[in-house]
Amino acid sequence: MDKVALITGVTGQDGAYLAELLLSKGYEVHGIKRRTSLLNTDRIDHLYQDPHEQDIRFKLHHGDLTDSSSLIRIIQQVQPDEIYNLAAQSHVAVSFEEPEYTANSDALGALRILEAIRILGLEKKTRFYQASTSELYGLVQEMPQKETTPFYPRSPYAVAKLYAYWMTVNYREAYGMYACNGILFNHESPLRGETFVTRKITRALARIKLGLQDCLYLGNLNARRDWGHARDYVEMQWLMLQQDKPEDFVIATGVQYSVRDFVDAAARELHLPIRWEGEGVEEKGMNAQGKCIVAVDPRYFRPTEVETLLGDPTKAKTKLGWEPKTSFQELVAEMVCEDMEAAERDELVKRHGYRALNHHE
Ligand code: NDP
Ligand code: GDR
């Protein structure tokens, strides 16, 4: 019998890569998506199968992490061998604006799934993966951060994820469930949400290059992150559920760059050299013609910031043989390339109006 997996957050960046990976391994994949007024399945449309076909391997269910009854119903119906809990209000800055909702979805959401597994008597059948985060380290206590580094969360998002982390550990110890945390450092891709800093940079610089936008406004340029590729990281999410016993793992590249470094790397890909001048909120990135194309806007500063994160993936390497395949430069190049293609399409429409796309006219 093929394995059955259930993915929460299937419409998100990781959900899309993970669904693709599990389908390629022969899984029957179920995803939970929430109801939205506009379609939100762009990232997984290529995996969609007409429900009228025979032998459907990829199925979507309406549900929400804030709604226990929908979760219990779906888990009962699907009887999954593996649940990947990827759904979350995942934006750190937004969590300061919506702390209560963030706690409801990110902290209690994980609890609701763990309880659903217990209520349905699936503790011995269903393996559980929790999308934990390097944000747990927050105000870092040790460089680099590994599985034993103490946590110090610095946002409502991170505090909510801390609750989910410990609930996962507690259900493993209390009920003997196969439940584990992947402590993932930042991972990006062309599918990354447009308001996270990497995608914001690659998208804006591509548009600036084509004259569709004048300036990119950013917050803390000095923040340092350990950035990997989402495609490599979902492989590890799967591997973590295939072991003899459940354990928590740090997933990272072990290399860190600043936000400013990311801007420079993306600009280099676009042959758009940037010269930095000024300091603090006055810092600016100038193009070759002396025009400001990157500026600091304090509205993007966070009430409490995580200044530096650097992961030590030694445990994942030695115990699971996992290593990231994509370098920082390759990641930036792939993101820039896709955003340049999107900008070129927009520029075409701007230049020729809708006629260029409507050949039947
Ligand atoms: P995204 O923001 O791209 O995706 C989040 C997903 O969760 C989307 O499918 C979203 O649906 C869904 N979702 C949000 N709220 C709810 C809810 N209340 N009920 C059901 N679904 C909901 O995140 P990523 O794919 O980047 O990250 C996946 C997980 O990993 C998240 O939990 C994130 O916190 C965590 N993480 C991410 C890291 C990263 O660098 N990417 C690093 C460490 C952890 P919709 O499409 O409708 O918005
Ligand atoms: P992060 O990612 O908070 O690490 O959370 P994000 O890309 O939002 O920020 C990274 C760093 O860049 C700084 N920054 C800006 N950030 C955004 N979004 N927009 C800006 O304009 C900007 N300017 C500077 C931030 O202050 C920060 O220091 C991500 C999410 O995917 C979480 O869900 C996940 O848990 C962590 O990564 C690991």
Q: pLDDT tens, 65-93?
A: 999 999 999 999 999 999 999 999 999 99
Mutate to test the pocket of ligand 2, among 89, 91, 92 (most ligand atoms within 8 A of CB): 92
Task: Kindly tell me if the per-residue pLDDT of 96 is higher than 80.
Answer: yes
Cβ–ligand 1 distance for 9 under 6 Å, the answer yes
Could you report the predicted ipTM of this complex, rounded to two decimals?
0.99
Q: What is the set of domains in the chain, with CATH numbers?
A: 4-189+227-256 (3.40.50.720), 197-224+257-307+327-352 (3.90.25.10)
Task: Kindly tell me if the per-residue pLDDT of 259 is higher than 90.
Answer: yes
State how far the Cα of 355 lies from the Cα of 361, in Å rounded to an integer: 7
Verify whether residue 133 is a known catalytic residue: yes
Atom 43 of ligand 1 has which residue's CA nearest to it?
133
Of 225, 103, 86, 105, the residue nearest 155 (C-alpha):
103
Per-residue pLDDT at 137: 98
Verify whether residue 157 is a known catalytic residue: yes
The count of residues in the chain is: 361
For the CA atoms of the chain, what is the radius of gyration?
21
Active-site choice (8, 133, 149, 168): 133
- Please report where in the chains the tokens 């995942």 appear, as a residue: 90
**H or E element: which one contains 348?**
helix 328-352
Residue 102 tokens, joined: 């963030």
DSSP, collapsed to helix, strand or coil, labels residue 210 as: coil
Per-residue pLDDT at 353: 77
Sheet containing 82-85: give its strands across. Answer: 58-62, 28-33, 4-8, 82-85, 127-133, 179-184, 249-251
Cβ–ligand 2 distance for 96 under 6 Å, the answer no
Q: How far is CA 183 from the centre of its chain?
A: 12
Task: Kindly tell me if the per-residue pLDDT of 201 is higher than 70.
Answer: yes
Specify the pTM. 0.97
Share of the chain above pLDDT 90, in %: 94
Cβ–ligand 2 distance for 223 under 6 Å, the answer yes
Point out the ligand 2 atom lying closest to the alpha carbon of residue 88.
Answer: 33
Cβ–ligand 2 distance for 195 under 6 Å, the answer yes
> Taking a C-beta distance cutoff of 8 angstroms, is the pair 139, 152 a contact?
yes
Opening angle at CA 104, ends 102 and 109, nearest 5: 110
What DSSP string runs through 281-318?
GG-EEE-TTS-EEEEE-GGG--SS---B--B--HHHHH
Tell how strand 179-184 and strand 249-251 pair up.
Answer: parallel
Which one of the ligands is nearest to 251 CA? 1
State how far the Cα of 35 lies from the Cα of 54, in Å rounded to an integer: 26
Cβ–ligand 1 distance for 14 under 6 Å, the answer yes
Residue 219's φ and ψ, nearest 5 degrees, are -95, -115
H-type helices in 79-176, by residue range? 92-97, 99-102, 109-119, 156-175
Q: What mean pLDDT comes out for the span 37-63? A: 91
Which one of the ligands is nearest to 134 CA? 2
**H or E element: which one contains 30?**
strand 28-33
